[in-house]
Amino acid sequence: MRLRQALLLPLGLLVAACGGGVDETDDLGAAGTAGTAGTGGGANALGAGAPSCAGGLDCGGLSCCEATLVSGGTFPMGRSDSGADAFAGGDADEIPEHVVTVDSFRLDVFEVTVGRFRKFVEAFDGTPPSAGAGDHHGLGAGWDPAWNGMLPATREELVKQVNQGPNAMPTWTPEAGDHERAAINFVPWYAAFAFCVWDGGRLPTEAEWEYAAAGGSENRLFAWGSDDPAANPNLANGWGSPLDSPFTPVGSHPLGNGKWGHRDLAGGLAEWVIDSYDESWYAGEGSACSNCASTKAGSDRVLRGGAWGGQGNSFTYRAASRDPFGPSLEKNAYAGFRCARSAL
């Protein structure tokens, strides 16, 4: 849960640390193609046809809506004291390691970008998702009409959520510009949920997210393997990276690609998942499950993957690391998301 501490750092200090952004006109070339050769890859049936990529949005040679197939299976979720994902000093909510099974699914290769979110803003009229939309395997995790009031009522209010002013370092800009390939930040959980439903998908479960980040049964410590990003700053958009900034284009660290070619599963922005946070979930109902998610009412939601800036270590970049935050959390330059989709 050390990400929470980083998110509370004064943003002024981080502005100085990251130098105010990067040039997004750089050709991502290799970043757009490296690491895609993992098993189970393949173009998403939606691909560039997803509403958020209408007209074509390119992220280094791939559609920004590209979603690769993650082959389902069983893996040891959580942190262990031995094995490929062993890590001393992890948080108590990462244990015990337990066996979880997930069906095959598609997961967006990239975090949702400013350009994709702009399409959502342009289409937004305040209408919430329908009741139950975005559920997975009948878990009861779909949209609850009680949440309707947590969404902005107008397009202008939605823009206000993500446009926090320059000192807060939002990636959103009032007009399309240099940040279109950066991941969108300042998106509360409810808006992230609504976006994914509108775009033909849903938020991934916490188990799906960790399965993809850990390389399934390979049980990787980090998305790329076991190399410590503190020793190689080119693995992730985070502290020590020459591109440590919320404005870095998605996919700029190809050495950190996951087994199925996903970019920025560590660093970049921490990512919302569908689950409610339950510190004892792994030792209780979630101790051995198939296609499960925590749906505890009135709870914080879970952020995964760590974020740019403020870490100083690799703790939150591990596949097993998890952090709770309120779903209405705003003023958060570190939180983003990606969507999951049907395997069909």
Give the DSSP letter string of 151-210. S-SSHHHHHHHH---GGG--S--SSS-TTTTBBP-S--HHHHHHHHHHTT-BPPPHHHHH
CB 335 within 8 A of CB 272: yes
User: What's residue 206's pLDDT?
Assistant: 96
Token pair belonging to 59 = 């992220």
Distance CA 6, CA 69 (A): 32
Residue 9's CB: how many other CB atoms inside 10 A? 13
Distance CA 168, CA 247 (A): 12
User: What's residue 178's pLDDT?
Assistant: 92
Distance CA 235, CA 228 (A): 9
Domains for the chain: give ranges and CATH numbers.
3-341 (3.90.1580.10)
User: For the range 78-82, what are the long-range contacts, defined as Cβ-Cβ under 8 Å and sequence gap of 24 or more?
Assistant: 78/282, 78/320, 79/318, 79/320
The pTM of the full predicted model, rounded to 2 decimals, is 0.86
| Contact partners, residue 175, CB within 8 Å, separation at least 6 | none
What's the Cα-to-Cα distance from 119 to each of 3, 126, 283, rounded to whole Å? 30, 14, 41
Residue 56's CB: how many other CB atoms inside 10 A? 9
CB 180 within 8 A of CB 248: no
Four-residue CA torsion sign, 222, 227, 228, 231: negative
Q: Is 114 left (phi over 0), alpha (psi -120 to 50) or beta?
A: alpha
Greatest Cα-to-Cα distance within the chain, rounded to the nearest angstrom: 51
What's the Cα-to-Cα distance from 295 to each of 98, 158, 275, rounded to whole Å? 18, 26, 6
Distance of CA 68 to the CA centre of its chain: 15
Distance CA 64, CA 238 (A): 21
User: What's residue 83's pLDDT?
Assistant: 67
User: What's residue 13's pLDDT?
Assistant: 35
Tens of pLDDT along the chain (344 residues)? 555 544 444 344 333 333 333 333 333 223 222 222 233 334 444 454 689 998 888 998 999 999 999 999 999 999 877 766 677 667 788 888 899 999 999 999 999 999 999 999 999 999 999 999 999 988 889 999 999 999 999 999 999 999 987 788 999 999 999 999 999 999 999 999 999 999 999 999 999 999 999 999 999 999 999 998 888 888 999 877 778 889 999 999 999 999 999 999 999 999 999 999 988 888 887 788 899 999 887 679 999 998 998 544 678 899 999 989 899 865 688 999 999 998 86
User: What's residue 305's pLDDT?
Assistant: 92
